[in-house]
Structure 1
Amino acid sequence: MSAIQILWVDDEIDLLKPHILFLEQRNYNVTTCKSGSEAIDVLETEKFDIVFLDENMPGLTGLETLNELKAKQDNLPVVMITKSEEEYIMEEAIGSKIADYLIKPVNPNQILLSLKKNLDHSRLVSEKTTSSYQQEFRKIAMDLAMVNSYEEWVNLYQKLLYWEIQLENIEDPSMFEILESQKTEANTQFGKFIEKNYADWFLPNTEAPVMSHTLFKEKIVPELSKEQPTLLVVVDNLRYDQWKVFEPIINNYYKKEHEEAFFSILPTATQYARNAIFSGLMPSDMEKLYPQFWKNDTDEGGKNLHEEDFLQAQMKRLNLDHLNYEFHKITNLRTGKKLVDNFKTLKDNDLTVVVYNFVDMLSHAKTEMEVVKELASNDKAYRSLTLSWFKNSPLFEMIQQAQQLGFKLIVTTDHGTINVKNPSKVIGDRDTSLNLRYKTGRSLTYEEKEVLVFKDPKEVHLPSINMSSSYIFAKSDSFFAYPNNYNHYVSYYRNTYQHGGVSLEEMIIPFSVFLPK
C-alpha cells in the first residue's frame, strides 16, 4: 500500500520537525509549506490525501487558504489547527467543511488520531466488521444446526441480514462469500423446517406464528382506536433487508414502538398472501365464503381486485363497524401524488390503509426490462434501488404528512422475494399455473428433492382447481422451468426476483409500529 501524502501548512513549520519525523517513521509522506499561497501553488502540481492547515498565518489566513483549497479540490480533507478557541473561527471553519479541528499546542498522537479518524476510518470499520463477523460465524453455524422453532428462525434470519448489511460496505469479498454460503445453508434447512411444520400450524391448539390470515386480528386491531388516527402501509413485495435500509429515514419522523416478524402463507404470492391479510381468511375459506371475490390461478381477470371488499367483510366480522376507515391502492406515480395532495382529508379516519405496489412493479420489471435487471443485479443493488425509490416517492411524503397530523404508523408487507438462480424442471398440463416459484395443477412431474409438495391442498387451506390438483413450491433459490425451450427460459429468468415459494426472504417479513415524534 502506498504511503499517505500529507500537506502541512504552517508559517512556523520549522518548530514542527519532531511531529513530521514522528509521522515519517510511521510511513506517512509529509510535504511542508510556510504560507497559504505556497500551499495553493503546490496543490496545482501534487496530489495529497489530507491537509493540516494553521489558522493564524501572515498573508493569506488559514480560512482564506481553506476556501482556496476547497475551490480547487472540494473533497480533500482539511484539518484546521489554531491557537484560538474563538467561536466565530470554529463556526467559519466548520461551515467551510473542515474534516477536523485541533487546538495548539498539538502533540504527535493527536495528529495520528486525526489521520486515522479521517483516512483510516473505512479500513478500521472494515477490519472491525470482518473480525466481528468471524467471531459470529461459528455461533451462526452452531445455531443453524440446532434451530427448531419459528422464533429461532426469525432470530437467525435477522442475524444473517444484520451481517449482510454490515458486510456490504467492506472491501473483503471473501467474507461476503462466506455469509452467502451461510444464507444458502440456512435456506436449505428452513425448507426442511417448513416441510415438517407448516401444515401443523393450521391444526387446533398448535402453537403457530402470526401469519398473513391472522395478522390483522392479532396485530393490527389492537393498535386501532378512535383517539388517534392510524396509517397502515402495506408495501407489496418488501423484503426484510429492503425494509431495514429505509427504516432509518422513517426514524427521523417517527419513534418505533415495536417491531416483529410474521410469516407469509404459502404461496408467497400477492393473490394469496395479501388477500389473506385483508380477509383474515385462508384462500380455501375465501373461495368458499366469497366466491364473488376470489379467483383461482387459472381464472381470467385480476386476482387481487377485491382487497377492499375483503377488508370490509373482516371489519364487520370483528365488530369494528364503529371505526371510520378508507382503503387506497397505489399502482403508479400519478395515484400516489394524488393521495399526497389530498392527505389532510384523511385525518378524520380512524384507519387509513394504503397498499403501495411499487416494489412489486420493480421486481416484475426486473424480469421484463434489461435496464432494471442491470440496476438490481444482486441483493445489495436491489436494496440500494429500493432506498433511492423511497426517498423520492409519494409514500415518503405521505409518511411525513402523517407524522405532522399525529397519525400512528404501521408498516408491513404481504411477502418477500428472492433472486432465483437454479432451474428446476417441471412438467404440467395446459391448466397448470404460470408462477415460477409455485405450481398448482394435476399430473405435475417434478424433481422431488427440489420442491415442497402438498398433494392434498385442503391440508394447507388452499383451493383445488380440480379434484386431483396438488401444489408444489420451489425451495431456496430455485425456479421452475419447462423442458421445452428450456435454455431460453432459464437464461431469461435466472437472476431475477421472484416470489411464491419457500425461502427465508419470501416468508419471514416485517411488521413495525411507530408513534409520531
Structure 2
Amino acid sequence: MTKTYILWADDEIEFLKPHILLLEERGYRVKTVNNGNDAVDAFENEPFDLVFLDENMPGLTGLETLNILKSINPTVPMILVTKNEEEDLMEDAIGAKIDDYLIKPVNPKQILLTIKKFTENRRLINEKTSMAYQQEFRNLGEIINNNLDYKGWIDTYKKLIYWELSLEKLEDDNMHEILTTQKSEANTIFSKFIEKNYINWFSNPETGPVLSHQLFRKKVLPAITPEKPTFFFLIDNLRYDQWRIINDVITEYFRLEEEDNYYSILPTATQYARNAIFSGLTPLEMEKRFPDLWQNDDDEGGKNMHESTFLTDQLKRIYRRDIKHSYTKVLTLEQGKDVYETINNLMQNELNVLVYNFVDMLSHARTDMPMIRELANDEAAYRSLTLSWFEHSPLLDTLKWLAQHQVKVIITTDHGTIRVKKPSKIVGYRDTNSNLRYKQGRNLNYNNKDVFVIKSPHDAQLPQLNISSTYVFAKDDLYFVYPNNYNQFVHYFSGTFQHGGVSLEEMIIPYATYSPK
C-alpha cells in the first residue's frame, strides 16, 4: 500500500521535528519546507495527499499559499495551523475553502486525527458502517418478523432506508446484496400485513394510519392560519429515500419542524391517490359526488384534470369560512420559472398548493428512454438524478425565496415507486387497464401468491365497473406481464420504476413541515 505523502510548510519547522518523527514512525512520508514559495514549488512537482500550512510565514502567508495550492489542485486536503484565534482569520480561511483549522500549539494526537480524517476517512467509515449493519442485521430481521402494526412498519422502513443510504457509500457489494435481500423480505411480510388489515382501515379508520383521503383533514388544514400563508408542495412520485436526500438541501434554508409519514391508498397511482388527497374523498366517494369529473380506468382522457375543483370543494366542506387559496400544477421547466417569478402574488393567500411532476416524468422517462435508463440504472443513481434535478430546479429557487419570508412550507407526495424485477403472468379481457402494478377487470387469471386481491371493490372504497370486476395488486417487486409477447415485455420493463401496487416504497409516504430559520 502506498504511504500517505504529507507536505508541511512552517517557518519554524525545526520545532516540529518530534511531530514529524512520530508521523514517520507511523508510516507516513513527510516533506518539510519553511516558506510558502517552497511549498508551491514542491506542490507543483510532487503528488501530495495532504498539506499542513502555517498561517504566519514570511513572504507568502498561509492563506496566500493556500489559494495558490488550491488553484493547482483543489482536491488535496489543506489544513491551516496558526496561533491566531481571531474570528476574521477563521472566516477568511473558510472563504478560501480550507479543509480544517488547527490552533497552535498542536499535539501529536490532533495531527494524527486530522490526517486519518482526510486520508483514511473512507476506509474507517466503510469498516465501521459495515460492522454496524452486520450487528443491526439480526435485530432488523427479528423486528420485521414481529407482527408489526402500521406504525412499526413506518419505523422499520425508515431504518431500512437509513442503512440503504449509509451502505451505498461503501465499496462492499456484499453488504448491498444483504440489505437488498432484507428489504425484499420486509416487502413480502409487509404485503401480508396489508392483505390482512387494509380493508379494515376503511370500516374502522381509528385502527389505521392516516390515508391519502384523510391527509388534508388530519394534517394540512390544522396547520393553516390566517396570520401567514401556508405553502403545500406535492412532488409527484417522491419516495421516502428521495425525500431524505433533498431534505438535506432544504434544511440549509428551513428548519424541519415535523417529519411524519402517511399511507397511500390503493392503487398507489396518481389517478387514485392524488385525487383522494385533494378531494378528501375515497375513489368510490369521488365517483358518487363527481360523476361528471371522476375518471375510471376505462374512461378516455386525463385522470387528474380536476384537482383544483376537488380541492375547493374539500375546503368548503370542512371549513365554515372561505379559505383564500390557489392551486398550481407545474409540468415544465418554464412553468416552474413562472411560479418563481410570480411567487409574491401568492403571499396574500392562506393556502397555496403547488404540484410538481418532475419525479413522475423521470420514472416514466427511465422506462421509455435508453439514455435515462443508463443514468438511473439502480436505486442510488435514481436518487442522484432526483437530487441533481432538485438542486438546479426553479422549485429550489422558490423555496429559497419563501425561506426569506414568514411562511410555513409542507412537502409531501402522493405515492412512491418500486424498481420491478420479477414478472408475473396475468390474463384478462381486452378492457383490463394497462398499469404494470395493478389490474382492474373481469375474470382475471393470475398467480395467487403474487397478488393482493380485492374481490369486492366497494369494501376498499374503489369503484366497480361491473358486477364481476376485481382488483389485483402486485406485491414485492413483481410486475404484470401478459403471456403474449412475454419475453419482449420482460426485457423492456425489467428494472424500471413502477407504481400502483403494494410495497413499502409505494405506500409509506413522507410528509414534512418546515418553518423559516
Same-fold call, TM cutoff 0.5: yes
Match of 2:162 in 1: 162
Aligned-partner Cα distance in 1 for 2:24–2:62: 24
Q: What secondary structure does 1:495 align onto?
A: coil
Q: Which amino acid aligns with 1:300?
A: E
Of 134-143 and 123-132, more deviation after overlay is shown by: 123-132
* CA distances 1:167-186 after superposition (whole Å, capped 9, x unpaired): 22233322222221111110
* CA distances 1:23-44 after superposition (whole Å, capped 9, x unpaired): 1221112233455444433334
Aligned-partner Cα distance in 2 for 1:277–1:105: 61
Q: What secondary structure does 1:225 align onto?
A: coil
Shift of 1:232: 1.2
In the alignment, is the contact (CA less than 8 A) between 1:147 and 1:153 conserved in 2?
A: no
Aligned-partner Cα distance in 2 for 1:54–1:305: 65
Q: 1:431 to 1:233 in 2, by over 3 A?
A: same
Q: Which amino acid aligns with 1:176?
A: H
Shift of 1:51: 2.1
In the alignment, is the contact (CA less than 8 A) between 2:428 and 2:445 conserved in 1?
A: yes
Aligned-partner Cα distance in 1 for 2:222–2:89: 55
Aligned-partner Cα distance in 1 for 2:205–2:94: 63
Match of 1:131 in 2: 131
* CA distances 1:482-516 after superposition (whole Å, capped 9, x unpaired): 11111111111111111000000000001222223
Q: Which amino acid aligns with 1:310?
A: F
Q: 1:62 to 1:257 in 2, by over 3 A?
A: closer
Aligned-partner Cα distance in 2 for 1:314–1:328: 16
Match of 1:209 in 2: 209
Match of 2:360 in 1: 360
1:265 aligns with 2:265: yes
Match of 2:119 in 1: 119
Of 47-56 and 216-225, more deviation after overlay is shown by: 47-56
Question: Counterparts of 1:171-320 in structure 2 under 5 Å?
Answer: 171-204=171-204, 207-320=207-320
Of 42-51 and 85-94, more deviation after overlay is shown by: 85-94
Match of 2:439 in 1: 439
Shift of 1:201: 1.0
Question: Counterparts of 1:387-402 in structure 2 under 5 Å?
Answer: 387-402=387-402
Of 425-434 and 10-19, more deviation after overlay is shown by: 10-19
Q: 1:219 to 1:59 in 2, by over 3 A?
A: closer
Match of 2:46 in 1: 46
* CA distances 1:232-264 after superposition (whole Å, capped 9, x unpaired): 111111101111111122223322232211110
Q: 1:20 to 1:436 in 2, by over 3 A?
A: same
Question: Counterparts of 1:65-104 in structure 2 under 5 Å?
Answer: 65-82=65-82, 93-104=93-104
Shift of 1:350: 1.3
Match of 1:386 in 2: 386
Q: What secondary structure does 1:262 align onto?
A: strand
Shift of 1:359: 1.0
Q: What secondary structure does 2:53 align onto?
A: strand
Shift of 1:422: 0.8
Shift of 1:433: 0.3
Shift of 1:60: 5.0
Q: 1:433 to 1:122 in 2, by over 3 A?
A: same
Aligned-partner Cα distance in 2 for 1:140–1:82: 47
Aligned-partner Cα distance in 2 for 1:90–1:342: 39
Q: Which amino acid aligns with 2:219?
A: K
Q: What secondary structure does 2:512 align onto?
A: strand
Percentage identity across aligned positions?
Answer: 55
Q: 1:66 to 1:278 in 2, by over 3 A?
A: closer
Q: What secondary structure does 1:146 align onto?
A: coil
Match of 2:28 in 1: 28
Aligned-partner Cα distance in 1 for 2:57–2:351: 64
In the alignment, is the contact (CA less than 8 A) between 1:5 and 1:50 conserved in 2?
A: yes
Q: What secondary structure does 1:424 align onto?
A: strand
Q: Which amino acid aligns with 1:333?
A: L
Of 30-39 and 1-10, more deviation after overlay is shown by: 30-39
Of 294-303 and 50-59, more deviation after overlay is shown by: 50-59
Q: 1:58 to 1:495 in 2, by over 3 A?
A: same
What are structure 2's unaligned runs of at least 5 residues?
Answer: none
What are structure 1's unaligned runs of at least 5 residues?
Answer: none
Aligned-partner Cα distance in 1 for 2:407–2:389: 23
Aligned-partner Cα distance in 2 for 1:266–1:344: 37
* CA distances 1:90-133 after superposition (whole Å, capped 9, x unpaired): 56555433333344444333321221232223333333322332
In the alignment, is the contact (CA less than 8 A) between 1:200 and 1:206 conserved in 2?
A: no
Question: What is the root-mean-square deviation in Å for CA atoms of aligned residues?
Answer: 2.2
Q: 1:173 to 1:320 in 2, by over 3 A?
A: farther
Q: Which amino acid aligns with 2:372?
A: V
Shift of 1:67: 3.8
TM-score (norm 2): 0.94
Match of 1:493 in 2: 493
Q: What secondary structure does 2:336 align onto?
A: helix
Shift of 1:218: 1.4
Question: Counterparts of 1:495-514 in structure 2 under 5 Å?
Answer: 495-514=495-514
Q: 1:112 to 1:344 in 2, by over 3 A?
A: same
Q: 1:63 to 1:242 in 2, by over 3 A?
A: closer
Match of 1:147 in 2: 147
Question: Counterparts of 1:336-351 in structure 2 under 5 Å?
Answer: 336-351=336-351
Q: 1:253 to 1:16 in 2, by over 3 A?
A: closer
Q: 1:246 to 1:427 in 2, by over 3 A?
A: same
Query: Aligned residue pairs: how many?
Result: 517
Q: Which amino acid aligns with 1:391?
A: E
Shift of 1:290: 1.2
Shift of 1:435: 0.2
Aligned-partner Cα distance in 1 for 2:152–2:219: 20
In the alignment, is the contact (CA less than 8 A) between 1:413 and 1:510 conserved in 2?
A: yes
Q: What secondary structure does 2:238 align onto?
A: coil
